[in-house]
Chain A
Amino acid sequence: MKDIEELFLPDDVRYTETHEWVRDDDGSVLIGINDYAQDQLGDIVFVELPEVGAIFEKGEEFGTLESVKAVSEINMPVSGEVIAVNEALEQTPELINQEPYNDGWIIEVRLDDPDEMQTLMSSSEYLEMLKGEG
């Protein structure tokens, strides 16, 4: 597994305490799991995606990731409606391991409240949190 210093934590996304990322994409947001989460889970073999049109509250579970080691819930970083899911993950779930911030995105969401983005962490704040945990 990677050392904390080796993690790739880009500055153009916001982070949650439960290791998801959110990227503002002109009115809607893309959501995925970050480099730390994919590294901890190991090889991801199955992704359970929500239905397009489903509405979730911030913090609610919207899907599951199954790796060779564990099954984990993915939580909503913000409240909103799912407007797209990454269907490529059904056949190639390993995209999350390979490209967690790009091709490995999981869902696209229309935000209920754009200000909610401000409640999430920047990459440096997230890094501090991880160091605190370690």
Chain B
Amino acid sequence: MPKVKIPRKSTIVDMTAMCDVAFLLLSFFILATKQKPPEVLSVATPNSISKEVAPDKAIIITMTKDGRAFLSLGDEIKKGEILDNINLTKGLNLSAAEMAKFNKEEFIGLPFNQIKSALAMPTAPNPADMPGIPVKDSANNELVDWLRSVTNVYAGGNQNELQDMLLIKGDNESLYPVFKNIKFAFKRNQIYKFRIVTNGQPVPVGSELYNKAVAEKNK
């Protein structure tokens, strides 16, 4: 009987295609991920079990460790109109050029009486050096005015949309009174619903909510 010859095949596989795939994926992920904007104000947010993702389009009130408050209006917000409104209602007397400069700043963290002089400077001050929007007590709370301008601009629009945009981002170590004064500013403007930026964390195993979720799943 003639022997059946099994041809010996090389075990070397051409890796080129696989290499292409790997680097294609790599470049895709690098390009597709959104770069986090460099944080001027470092804020370590508290944890919560909330699963809702914080929106990109937002009006954020940042509360730093040392209790300063900053307002940042996102790119897609009617920022220009809000600034116009505050300029008008608080009589800041800003010229068109100064307004344009003001519009470019990411964080608003100055009392009203310092805004004009700060805009006159050749370079914008670093937000980390700003004193923050005064929120000391109910009498001297300029955040009330800022939020009033926000509600003025969005008046007549969809209020749920506005509520979804309002965020408070606070540092773990900032003291409670600051938070209370920020809440006061919201309430003063008849805003009762807003959201807190937190770090998501899973529901602790064995807790009431966890057991409830498990029970519902087994149903």
A and B bind: no
Interface residues of B (CB under 8 A from A): none
Interface residues of A (CB under 8 A from B): none
